[in-house]
Chains A and B, each alone.
Chain A
């Protein structure tokens, strides 16, 4: 444990993915396949450390009412922190319950952050925060008409993902399990089917609890993984960010390498031929 605790977050724990392996969404090419959510970090310092350790190039931000007196002051400095880190800002419509609210939030985000990119969230259930499919599709379609680059937070339904891709979404972001639940990928079968159903990048979003969840998502064929709570609420966010980075790389490599099929019984890795006979 002491040895583990003293592990340095250096390049030694850094990227192992193939040189030149990049993820392109709507013409933007990124070396990192990890998208970081900025929510839940106890401080901007910890967020900044996690951004660096994750190697990510895209970080989500939300829009909320500014209180009189300029609070939250974190608003301006959050943008400054991300700008200093050299990462792109991906505004979201977190908390929106209707297509109308999500569309207005997206338009405001475009003004606030000078980007056409929007992570579109339309929540349909208070307990699970699951997406509202009809509202999501409607908002996606209208925002794309307005020139937005739409990355919808969606269910793990391959048919809905295809509909979202068909109306022009730049990527789809299916949930592994409910937001902040840390339950990982609850339906790997659906994620694999969804990957086959669309031609746009698939970025698993929500539910990742630890590094192996991110690796599994990549092994299932996802093009990227978005992680927020699992890093922000970890005891050591920067260390977890480094773990997620390595996991995404490991899963990507394993996917490319091609896993062996599952078998019900053992298959010896050592041949029986030449086995000694001890009488």
Chain B
């Protein structure tokens, strides 16, 4: 089961990171978005090719007011 931002997500292992973003209704070209899978950054250039491993913990982060 894929864990997306701490919650189970309706995405299958093997799908690319970009599938997660679509699932979330995010524009993959939007600025201010970054993705980590299992504690490692997935660079934007790999969002279409990086396949989610089994039980991946995915963090999708965006710009927020702060600091």
Contacts and interface: CB of A to CB of B under 8 A. Distances in A.
Interface of A: 37-41, 47, 60-70, 72, 74-76, 78-79, 83, 90, 92, 94, 104, 107-109, 111-114, 119, 121, 228
A94 B65 CA distance: 11
B62 A76 contact: yes
B41 to A, nearest CB: 5
Indicate the member of A74, A75, A78 with the most B CB atoms within 10 Å: A75
B6 to A, nearest CB: 7
Contact of A67 (B5, B30, B65, B67): B5
Contacts of A39: 65-67
A66 B62 contact: yes
Contact of A69 (B24, B33, B34): B24
Nearest to B10: A68
Interface of B: 4-6, 23-27, 30-36, 39-41, 43-44, 59-67
B66 A94 contact: yes
Given A65-B6, A76-B31, A47 B65 contact: yes
B64 A64 contact: yes
A63 B62 contact: yes
14 contacts: A37-B67, A38-B65, A39-B67, A61-B65, A65-B6, A68-B25, A70-B26, A76-B31, A108-B35, A108-B36, A109-B34, A113-B63, A114-B31, A119-B67
A238 to B, nearest CB: 16
Nearest to B41: A107
A245 B32 CA distance: 28
The 7 closest A-B pairs by CB, nearest first: A62-B66, A75-B62, A60-B67, A112-B34, A108-B34, A92-B67, A79-B32
